[in-house]
Structure 1
Amino acid sequence: MARRRAMQWLAGAAMLGAAVPAFGQATAVPPTGAQFANIFADHAVVQRDRPIAVWGTGTPGGTVSVQLGDRWVSAKVGSDGNWRATLPAMPAGGPYTLSVGSAGAAAQTLSDIMVGDVFLCGGQSNMEFKVSASTNAWGTTRSSADTGLRFVVIDDANRPNVARDLDKRAKWAQVSPETVGDASAVCYYMARSLRQSEKVPIGFISSEWGGTRIESWISAPALSTVPDLRAGVAAVAQYGRDPAAAILADGERREAWWQANDPAATGQRAWRTEGFDDAAWGTIKEAAWRQAGIPALADFEGAVWLRTTIELTPEQAAAARTLRLGPIDKFDESYVNGTYVGGGSIEWAWRGYAIPAGRLHAGRNVVAIRVLGGANGGGFASPAPRGVELADGTLVPFKGPWRYAKGTPLKDKWIAPPPWDTPNSLTTLYNGMIAPFAGYGLKLAAWYQGESNAAEAGAYRRLLPLLMADWRRAFDAPKLPFFVVQLTSYGKPMTTPGQSSWAELRQAQAEAVAADADAGLAVTIDVGDRFDIHPTQKTLVGERLARLASVIAYGKPGTRSGPEAVDVTRAGADLVVRYRNALGGLQSYSGAQAIGFETCAGETCSYATAVPRGETVVLPGANRPGVTRVRYAWADAPFVNLFDKADLPAAPFVLPVK
């Protein structure tokens, strides 16, 4: 959990620095003359053996010339100042110079460009997890130098509107002991393995954000096809057009929640206003209320109001931009002089709310926060700089003491976040971290995500195929090989069979991949860590992705994955599970029996004896009346010992008995 908290803190810190400007288009103005889009940079890799799409900006109505090595093409600049060109396909090779120029203006020239294979890696924190934190990072780093292996990490960018370009020039890097530590570990180990087997330049693009949901990474048109998400996507679009109106509408939604769930809410409306007299309230330290030394709050879970003041000069009031509150446990609605400015729903996320122009004034100003929390401390979750941030980045800290009023006890309540709020946003990460380089040539894509959607396997069954189709459309590659890392093992082990949201999510991933001829599933059930949601053994995960890629993307002979259960049949008193892709047959480590098998009669499941025999597993005596299903590894953190002779783990499953 310590590593998880550390990564969440870093994610929160990143949000702190980008909370307000993150929700707009890139504002950088390109220099005079033709320029490439920011994904194109020194040391980049472009996709071999297919026409090479390049694009950028230039003088409206003008013409640009683009050259890569000895290949060149011209393109017309549109009235919007954007151009797009397609260079002829080239075989693997390089380094080359890539340049664009227009009449009467200096050319932009990029150096050390390689033609090879390009991978896109996306997801949440386990894809974001760096080489420097992975198992055997020291040895990996020392031997990593390879000028033919490059990578780029896409900066976090949360956008309600589709961004046409990255905010700044991408930083492609050659893999070396000095650079590789910052690369995605899973993506690097996959790319390293394929680099060794394919002997061509490889570049991988990492676009990931810890804690995020799959809905954040799908485009608005695609996500709008899901009826339950259509209203949220429309709200994000409104935020892109008119942030102030969208925030106020979201405040009304949250207020309606309080009216429905807290009978005292109506009488507390005055507590948010500037003129309310809170002198009778108690004072509280800027800390979690359970640790504040106040007996009445020591074990309290529910609503607590917090108020303080801030003194501003006329100049500071005019320059005020953002209310900075740090992380809050867990749900908050925040007000400045009575005006709602925003609310959050993640205890580790740093709050940064835009303050409407004119809302602050010279002299005394009041900030009021209604918090619903307490399960993880309540209120201010950790030390942080708090106050009002000015246009130049200066933070004016709060001056007055924090006063509090204890509200209604409320347990196990949940307030939905605004749909533009990372990490629970809809479509915004597609807009900011995929769309700006859509069309870049790719060889394959890899996806490692699902922890944040683990409780919603039913929805994930639709969303994962939607994501795969959406990215293929965005990169103009209808049959783009797409590889999914199945959720690994994490959580409390079970001593009796039961329900498991993680097992359900694994099954949803497996079903989505099985229905897609160009997709593959990397099973990782054996390399998890039940104490840590971020297991460090990323080498095997990357190499299993590489195995999938070798067969599906590169067409090499072999088996794409490990043992997969095909069906369960009755054989006298026994049940027989038949497998495919069990290279050399099945084997059970550390015993004659395979553990983790269950038979289910209705909703009641029982552990079953299981014996590997060739490419089957026999469940002796399990053909009992009422048994209709068999499950395997059906737990958040199952212990498993069933592998094939290639040391690949058998995949978790649930199947009907025929």
Structure 2
Amino acid sequence: MVLQRDLPIEVAGNAEPGSRVEGTLGDDTANAQAGPDGRFRLTFSSHDAASEPMTLTVSDPTGTARLSGVLVGDVYLCSGQSNMELPVVRALNVSNELRMAGDEGLRLLQVPKVTASTPVHAFGEAAHWQAASGDTAADFSAACFYMGKQLRADHPDVPVGLIHSSWGGSAANAWLSPEGVRILYGEQPLARLRQYDQDPLAAARSFAPEWYDWYRGVSGGSEPWKDSAQLDWRPIPKFSFWNEWTGTGLDTNPNGLVWLRQTFTLTPEQAASAGSISIGAIDDLDMTFVNGAPVGYTFGWGTERTYRVPAADLKAGKNEVLIAAWNAWDTGGFYAGPDRLFFSPGDGGDAVPLGADWDYAVMRTDEAPPRAPWDALVGTGVMHNAMIAPIGPMRVKGVAWYQGEADVGQPGYADRLRELFAGWRRQFGDQARMMVVQLAGWGTPQAEPVASGWAELRQQQLDAVVADDNAALVAATDLGEPTDIHPANKNVLGKRLAMAAEGEPMPMPDSAVLTGDTIRLRLSGVEGGLRAIGGPYGLGVELCGEMQESCRFVLPALQGDTMLIRTDQGGPVARVRHAWSDAPLINLYDERGLPVPGFELPVAQP
């Protein structure tokens, strides 16, 4: 592994409660006493960068743990969603890059993908540091790996440690520390997470009223959990993803909410004791009811569901199970075969099959249902708790964050980034530099100025970086691919991340001032002046009044680090924008090849 240079080195772990713990790191020693819970923390003195491996030993009266091959250098955490997760094998120039990937001074740690309701000390699965090689780098984060590779090239005497902890589709909420959750949302989400840990059924029933309110709102007041006859039921064509139900409309538009219904028969003895209902895996999300009572909520397209059903919710004879299944992308509905769906009586008797002959009813709405705090992808802090907290108090030099696609359209992203920054620094040290990748372009390029949720999120990324004293915005808009939300050019992105990690200034909007009939838009962090690639003018620059329909493209003249924009062509002048669309076409760079990011600035007027 690699430990952070030039800072005190902290090592945490478990030992016998109250026992004396002693540690050595090379020639350095430290000691501590384990607390009543067995937790301890050793603090070693700071070390210079060291490529010669050292040994770390930690001992208590029961034995000694020994780790060899420890280097000292710079450590970075890389986190986010699928664009940070995208592996080297899906980036560019794969065969050559893997052939040259071997480097004993570049160490990689892949954090297992697990969630937890409260912070834990250990990873959900075994995790091991490994030296970079063609084999170990292949499935590692490409953006993170290429950042580390460039840092090693720039400073070959400094080992680099990369910790990759990402999850495709995850929202920023999932990575918040408990303190960040409390600051943004109060105690209720944390209380519900604790409740879910202790009693998932009680947590589901606590969350259900919020789900009820949403459904009544989008359905005009319908309450099918009280009376399923309110819905227009039809037999499912076959037991499969509903994408395969030809002629139902779900085969051409699989996104939205579909109700699934089945009955099962219990004897008086079976109904007299609590049982559990297994419904296989539902893609993506379910809210499940038995005889009108909510029994569970889960997000996860490959996650099998088993929910406890109290005896009070069962009856002798026919019982009804309703599943409100929500699909947001690709396939929807049943993921596992019908053999995975059954009711298990609490008396230990034989399981009651639910069979394959279900009914379905479609409820079309574009409004997504509310998500529970324990939701796998957007639950408050569930990824921090299992994928960040177990890293412990080790120092890191910086954090590379590539996420935001899942938060487009959700207000308050800049606030979430602020609390993410604060949570990482509480754990890894105030020195940690934050590098935020501004979303790459994706979608259909537009010929006219448009409103854009992606552009608005890019602006919030920029705002969060500007508000922080030790952060950098790494533009990736130009690296996007219109038809692929996961662009392959992480090779160049990694180099830009390395520049940000080393503190190189990045092009950033500074001010826009109207003087006469010309706006002088100045950018900071520009090296060698602005350059328009492929022509004499910068593209993707707009002037706007207060309303979207007032926005129009303009052609700025370039003068060093400044754009000169004439306003004598008419139209209101309140804001200036650059790269303001989901998939903008841009050509403004400085001489290092760093692009001007997407932004909106108010125009200061005399």
TM superposition score category, shorter chain reference: 0.7 to 0.9
State, as a whole percentage, how many aligned pairs show the same letter: 31
User: What code does the residue aligned with 2:499 have?
Assistant: R
> What is the distance in 2 between the residues matched to 1:487 and 1:321?
44
Task: State whether structure 2 residue 15 is matched by structure 1 residue 71.
Answer: no
Shift of the alpha carbon at 1:548? 1.2
1:353-407 Cα shifts (integer Å, max 9, x gaps): 342277699x9996723336688688526666743599xxxxx995623221536
Cα 1:233–1:62 change in 2 (3 A) is closer
Deviations 1:548-584 (A, max 9, x none): 1112xxxxxxx421x3232223344333322232221
Deviation, 1:113, is: 1.3
Q: In structure 2, what is the equivalent of residue 565 of structure 1?
A: 509
The corresponding residue for 2:355 is 400
Two-structure CA RMSD over aligned residues (Å): 3.4
Q: Structure 1, unaligned stretches of length 5 or more?
A: 1-43, 273-277, 391-395, 552-558
1:298–1:82 Cα change, 3 Å: closer
Name the SS for the 1:111 alignment partner: strand
Q: 1:282 aligns with which of 232, 235, 241?
A: 235
Give the CA deviation at 1:448. Answer: 0.9
Q: Is the 8 A contact 2:343 2:353 kept in 1?
A: no
Q: How far apart are the structure 1 equivalents of 2:132 and 2:352?
A: 43
> What amino acid maps onto 2:416 in structure 1?
L
Matched, 1:202 2:160: yes
Are 1:232 and 2:189 matched, yes or no?
Answer: yes
Query: What residue in structure 1 maps to residue 386 of structure 2?
Result: 432
Q: What is the CA deviation profile of residues 597-653 of structure 1, one whole-angstrom value per residue up to 9, with x for unaligned ones?
A: 111122120111223233222223546463121111100100011111211111222
Give 2:545's aligned residue. Answer: 601
Aligned counterparts of 2:303 and 2:317: Cα–Cα separation in 1: 22
Matching of residue 171 in structure 1 with residue 128 in structure 2: yes
Q: CA deviation at 1:245?
A: 1.0
Q: Is the 8 A contact 1:64 1:77 kept in 2?
A: yes
Distance 1:75 1:478 in 2: 23
Aligned with 2:56 (options 77, 93, 98): 98
After superposition, the C-alpha distances for 1:86-110 in whole angstroms (9 at most, x for unaligned) are: 122222223112112223x332211
Q: Does 1:462 align with 2:415?
A: yes
Question: What is residue 177 of structure 2 aligned with on the other side?
Answer: 219
**How far apart, in 1, do the equivalents of 2:70 and 2:343 lie?**
42
| Helix, strand or coil at the partner of 1:323 | strand
Deviates most, 187-196 or 620-629? 620-629
After TM superposition, the structure 1 = structure 2 runs for residues 114-513 of structure 1, keeping only pairs within 5 Å, are 114-198=71-155, 199-227=157-185, 230-262=187-219, 265-266=222-223, 269=226, 271=228, 282-289=235-242, 291-293=244-246, 303-307=258-262, 323-328=278-283, 332-336=286-290, 339-344=293-298, 349-356=301-308, 368-371=321-324, 380=333, 386-387=340-341, 400-406=355-361, 409-456=363-410, 458-475=411-428, 477-513=429-465
1:577 corresponds to: 521
2:601 maps to 655
2-side partners of 1:639 and 1:525: how far apart?
9
- Pairing of 1:49-60 with structure 2 (within 5 A): 49-60=6-17
TM-score of the superposition, structure 2-length normalised?
Answer: 0.87
Instruction: List alignment gaps of at least 5 residues for structure 2.
Output: 345-350
CA contact (8 A) 1:309 1:400 kept: no
C-alpha change, 1:264 and 1:505, in structure 2 (3 Å) is: closer
CA distance in 2, matches of 1:599, 1:166: 50
How many residues align? The count is: 586
Matches of 2:372 and 2:180, distance apart in 1: 19
Separation (CA, whole Å) in 2 of partners of 1:594 and 1:296: 45
Residue pair 2:282, 2:304 contacting (<8 A) in 1 also: no
Query: Contact 1:251–1:342 at 8 Å: present in 2 too?
Result: no
Which amino acid in the other structure matches residue 485 of structure 1? V
CA distance in 2, matches of 1:318, 1:546: 61
SS of structure 1 residue aligned to 2:135: coil
Specify whether residues 73 and 233 from structure 1 end up closer, same or farther in structure 2 by C-alpha distance, changes over 3 A only. closer
Q: Which amino acid aligns with 2:423?
A: D
Amino acid at match of 1:447: W
Query: Which AA in structure 2 matches 1:471?
Result: W
**Conserved in 2, the CA contact under 8 Å of 1:286 and 1:380?**
no
Q: Among residues 577, 584, 588, which one is paired with 1:631 in the alignment?
A: 577
Whether 2:566 is the aligned partner of 1:611: answer: no
For the structure 1 residues 622 and 189, does the alpha-carbon distance in structure 2 shift closer, same or farther, using more than 3 Å as the test? farther
Distance, in Å, in 2 between the alignment partners of 1:251 and 1:212 is 23
State the one-letter code of the partner of 1:352. E
Counterpart residue type for residue 182 of structure 1: D
Is the Cα contact below 8 Å between 2:172 and 2:404 reproduced in 1?
A: yes
- 2:422 is paired with a residue of what secondary structure? helix
Give, in angstroms, the shift of residue 209 of structure 1: 1.0
Give SS of 1:568's match: strand
Q: CA deviation at 1:454?
A: 1.5
Q: Is the 1:324–1:351 contact (alpha carbons within 8 Å) kept by the matching residues of 2?
A: no
Asked if the contact 1:484/1:521 (under 8 Å) is kept, the reply is: yes
The SS at the match of 1:226 is: helix
Q: What secondary structure does 2:239 align onto?
A: coil
1:309, CA displacement in angstroms?
5.3
Aligned match of 1:112 in 57, 69, 73? 69
In structure 2, relative to structure 1, the CA distance for the partners of 1:183 and 1:297 (3 Å cut) is closer
Matched, 1:515 2:515: no
Report the Cα distance in structure 1 between the residues aligned to 2:28 and 2:537, rounded to whole angstroms.
Answer: 62
Structure 1 residues 89 and 232: alpha-carbon distance in aligned structure 2, compared to 1, 3 A threshold: same
Q: Distance in 2 between matches of 1:587 and 1:460?
A: 31
* SS of structure 2 residue aligned to 1:526: helix
**Aligned partner letter, 1:644:** D
Please point out which of 578, 583, 586 is paired with 2:530.
Answer: 586
Determine the structure 1 residue equivalent to 2:348: none
Distance, in Å, in 2 between the alignment partners of 1:161 and 1:70 is 37
Distance in 1, matches of 2:331 and 2:597, equals 40
The structural deviation recorded for 1:517 is 1.8
> Could you tell me how far 1:206 is from its partner in structure 2?
0.9
Matched letter for residue 128 of structure 1: E
